[in-house]
């Protein structure tokens, strides 16, 4: 299976040194620095800037405001004005308008040389595979005159494919004799079931001509049939594209999304459908073929068939042991409903006895702590909004929307997710190593803050670095370090960093006039391996243009928090040794031994895709769907993009 993504080639230190020796230095220090220490990443990695060893630098009052939308307030000039390198932005999604299909080329196609014949009725018109014949070819040529003046609107590429296919293959796919055939009936049924995939059936609606009566007005009937033929082909192509790639182009939503295109041979789709009896099987095969997609479909069907939960707990409830609230019995009832055998055996009697209590008595504290821990929280016994969201659940309407959004997002990924694979789900704050359908490692993760969001993309694991250097990104150097360096130029020398100039030569930080630079600093900075290194004892690389990777961290306390959007964008792991052992196909003991010998790197020799994903609804390995908070508000933005697409499509039914 081929995974497309942004790749960069790791250049060995020897090669970089040779470039310097022959007088061909990179264009700037940052480029050289990335070659030497970036592990093949095009931009410097986004580690985390540790707090300075001395008191914090206080910026001068009335300093100019930082630019947030234009990259930087100043390009690269000097002076002490505040500058900022901005993060990716979100865009107002605008769907491409539909175009009217231009049937002129079809209508102008010369008639066949053979004499016209009446359209025959095959012995098995509903089941036979399409077999072009001179009779049907002639009938099609006669029928296409009915396309004159027909207003059918479709996406630009679909409109083009429609005309191209029928110009090269002037025959019906969906019509046999004087009525829609079995192939058409199967296609219409599948399109009508689009809601079961989280799609909108109205996007694919086609009016099927009534069964042929008598020979009445033959010309009118032909016109009706050929227009049905074109409409159904156009909507089938839309369905196939939506099923395979999604209704929304994620890369047009935000710079945080990065997905390769999924090209579709539209003419090939029609050609396949024209020669198969298995229309349903083919159309359904265009959807992702992984267990997660199927589990989400099952969940959606269950939600749509279920009644709305009559118990609603105040989402803003805050209740500590010893306090009282009329919301507590509601929460206890919902907890009791979802107890498994183990929890029921331990706490079932307590819940039954205190089910109506509004007082948060000491006996209930162990129950709340246990269910908090089971839900992935730290289990402090305090009932707050996150506890309510996890234990009382999400409303039916919200769950349906989250599942529909998740189905759309899964269509952006490969149909086969691969095995083994690493799956990071940002809203869940977890990273998993999955092999042969088994989750062999699941660890807590820290992701980017809302101001430094982690991107959504996929790539391949390439390398593990032991006791890594941290190449400071220009964004952190400019946004966070530069203000201090203007006041204290020697700070980096004392704090365990190295500075290199444009020719790769180490220079003292104190020798640089930091006050003379803005957003473009012609120096590279790296932090040496140490206990205080922002990356901890190892990092796991999958080269990508977002400069994101997994790594250890000295800030272990962050993993005890429930909300772990706390980094500069990279993914910190609670169990980095376990993940390194998994991707290298070795043991944790081997990793520990490697760490005893200082800085080194080791390539990952297997093909292991990694998904840096964002799903607020996601099934566990047993198929049970779990729900998470939309920490970056991306579901809302995706829904807006889907609504934009629906608005464009709605007039063209």
| pLDDT at residue 298 in the model | 97
Asked if residue 49 belongs to a domain, the reply is yes
Asked if residue 318 belongs to a domain, the reply is no
Asked if residue 612 belongs to a domain, the reply is yes
Are 274 and 375 members of one domain?
A: no
Are 274 and 341 members of one domain?
A: no
Are 441 and 495 members of one domain?
A: no
pLDDT digits (tens, 9 = 90+) for 430-447: 999 999 999 999 999 999
pLDDT band at 651 (very low <50, low <70, confident <90, very high): low
Are 427 and 336 members of one domain?
A: no
| pLDDT at residue 652 in the model | 46
Separation of first and last alpha carbons in the chain: 37
Q: Which of 563, 570, 538, 291 is nearest to 424 (CA)?
A: 570
Are 274 and 381 members of one domain?
A: no
pLDDT band at 83 (very low <50, low <70, confident <90, very high): low
Are 210 and 132 members of one domain?
A: yes
Asked if residue 171 belongs to a domain, the reply is yes
The CATH number that applies at residue 538 is 2.40.440.10
Please name the helix (run of DSSP H) or strand (run of DSSP E) that holds residue 225, with its range, or none: helix 218-245
Mean pLDDT for the stretch of residues 107-128 = 46
Are 243 and 143 members of one domain?
A: yes
* 599 and 590 Cβ atoms separated by less than 8 Å: no
Split into its structural domains, the chain has a count of 4
Q: In this structure, what is the dihedral angle of CA atoms 172, 175, 178, 180, given to the nearest 10 degrees? A: -170
Asked if residue 651 belongs to a domain, the reply is no
Contacts 24+ apart (CB under 8 A), 620-626: 620/439, 621/434, 621/437, 621/438, 621/439, 623/291, 623/295, 623/298, 624/295, 625/295, 625/296, 625/299, 625/403, 626/428
Mean pLDDT for the stretch of residues 82-106 = 87
Domain boundary among 287, 309, 339: 287
Are 440 and 381 members of one domain?
A: no
- Return d(Cα 24, Cα 19) in angstroms, integer: 5
Mean pLDDT for the stretch of residues 388-401 = 84
Domain boundary among 287, 315, 340: 287
Are 445 and 566 members of one domain?
A: yes
Asked if residue 309 belongs to a domain, the reply is no
- Annotate 12-36 with b (16+ C-beta within 10 A) or e (fewer): eeeebeebeeeeebbebbbbbbbbb
Are 220 and 118 members of one domain?
A: yes
Q: What are phi and psi of 111, to 5 degrees?
A: -70, 150
- Return d(Cα 263, Cα 258) in angstroms, integer: 16
Q: Which domain holds residue 390?
A: 328-394
Beta strands 470-471; 524-527: pairing state? antiparallel
- Read off the pTM: 0.79
Please state which of the ranges 221-225, 288-292, 410-414, 460-464 shows the lowest mean pLDDT: 221-225
Residue 246 confidence (pLDDT) above 90: yes
- Percent of the chain having pLDDT more than 90? 61
Q: What is the mean pLDDT of the chain?
A: 83
Residue 169 makes CB contacts below 8 A (sequence gap 6+) with 132, 270, 271, 274
Asked if residue 300 belongs to a domain, the reply is no
pLDDT band at 41 (very low <50, low <70, confident <90, very high): very low
68/386: higher pLDDT:
386
Asked if residue 406 belongs to a domain, the reply is no
Are 490 and 586 members of one domain?
A: no
pLDDT digits (tens, 9 = 90+) for 121-163: 443 333 334 444 455 578 898 999 999 999 999 999 999 999 9
Q: Which of 43, 37, 40 is nearest to 528 (CA)?
A: 37
Are 119 and 185 members of one domain?
A: yes
């Amino acid at each position: 299976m081929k995974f497309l993504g942004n790749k960069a080639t790791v250049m060995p230190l020897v090669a970089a040194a040779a470039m310097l020796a022959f007088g061909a230095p990179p264009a700037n220090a940052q480029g050289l620095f990335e070659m030497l220490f970036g592990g093949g990443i095009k931009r410097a990695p986004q580690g985390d800037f540790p707090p300075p060893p001395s008191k914090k630098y206080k910026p001068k009052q009335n300093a100019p405001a930082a630019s947030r939308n234009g990259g930087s307030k100043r390009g690269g000039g000097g002076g002490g004005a505040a500058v900022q390198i901005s993060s990716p932005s979100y865009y107002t999604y605008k769907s491409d308008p539909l175009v009217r299909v231009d049937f002129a080329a079809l209508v102008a196609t010369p008639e066949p040389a053979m004499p016209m014949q009446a359209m025959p009725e095959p012995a098995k018109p509903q089941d036979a595979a399409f077999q072009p014949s001179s009779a049907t070819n002639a009938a099609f040529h006669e029928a296409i005159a009915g396309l004159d003046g027909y207003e059918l609107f479709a996406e630009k590429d679909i409109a083009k494919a429609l005309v191209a296919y029928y110009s090269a293959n002037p025959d019906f796919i969906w019509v046999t004799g004087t009525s829609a055939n079995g192939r058409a009936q199967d296609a219409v049924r599948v399109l009508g079931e689009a809601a079961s995939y989280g799609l909108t059936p109205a996007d694919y609606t086609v009016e099927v001509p009534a069964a042929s009566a008598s020979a009445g007005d033959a010309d009118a009937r032909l016109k009706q049939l050929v227009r049905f033929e074109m409409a159904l082909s156009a909507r089938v192509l839309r369905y196939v594209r939506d099923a395979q790639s999604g209704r929304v182009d994620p890369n047009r939503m935000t710079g945080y999304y990065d997905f390769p295109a999924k090209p579709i041979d539209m003419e090939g789709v029609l050609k396949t459908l024209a020669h198969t009896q298995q229309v349903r099987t083919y159309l359904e095969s265009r959807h992702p073929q992984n267990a997660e997609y199927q589990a989400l479909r099952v969940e959606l069907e269950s939600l749509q068939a279920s009644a709305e939960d009559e118990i609603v707990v105040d989402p803003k409830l805050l209740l500590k042991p010893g306090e009282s609230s009329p919301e507590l019995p509601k929460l206890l009832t919902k907890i009791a409903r979802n107890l498994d055998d183990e929890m029921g055996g331990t706490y079932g009697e307590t819940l039954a006895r205190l089910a109506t209590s509004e007082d948060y008595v000491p006996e209930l504290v162990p129950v709340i702590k246990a269910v908090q821990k089971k839900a992935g929280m730290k289990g402090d016994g305090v009932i707050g909004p996150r506890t309510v969201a996890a234990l009382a659940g999400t409303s039916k309407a919200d769950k349906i929307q989250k599942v529909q959004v998740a189905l759309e997002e899964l269509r952006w990924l490969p149909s086969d997710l691969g095995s083994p694979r690493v799956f990071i789900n940002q809203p869940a704050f977890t990273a998993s190593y999955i092999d042969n359908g088994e989750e062999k490692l699941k660890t807590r993760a820290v992701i980017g803050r809302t101001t430094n969001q982690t991107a959504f993309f996929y790539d391949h694991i390439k390398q593990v670095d032991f006791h890594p250097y941290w190449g400071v990104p220009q964004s952190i150097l400019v946004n966070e370090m530069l203000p201090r360096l203007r006041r204290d130029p020697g700070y980096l020398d004392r704090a365990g960093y190295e500075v290199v100039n444009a020719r790769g030569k180490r220079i003292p930080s104190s020798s640089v006039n930091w006050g003379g630079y803005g957003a473009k600093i012609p120096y590279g900075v790296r932090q040496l391996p140490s206990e205080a290194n922002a990356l901890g004892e190892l990092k796991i690389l999958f080269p990508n243009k977002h400069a994101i990777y997994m790594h250890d961290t000295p800030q272990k306390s962050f993993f005890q928090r429930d909300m772990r959007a706390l980094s500069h964008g990279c993914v910190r792991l609670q169990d980095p040794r376990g993940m390194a052992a998994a991707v290298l196909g070795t043991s944790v003991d081997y990793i520990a031994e490697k760490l005893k010998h200082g800085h080194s790197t080791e390539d990952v020799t297997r093909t292991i895709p990694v998904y840096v994903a964002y799903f607020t609804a996601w099934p566990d390995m047993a198929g049970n769907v779990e729900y998470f908070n939309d920490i970056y508000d991306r579901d809302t933005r995706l829904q807006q993009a889907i609504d934009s697409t629906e608005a464009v499509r709605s007039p063209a039914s």
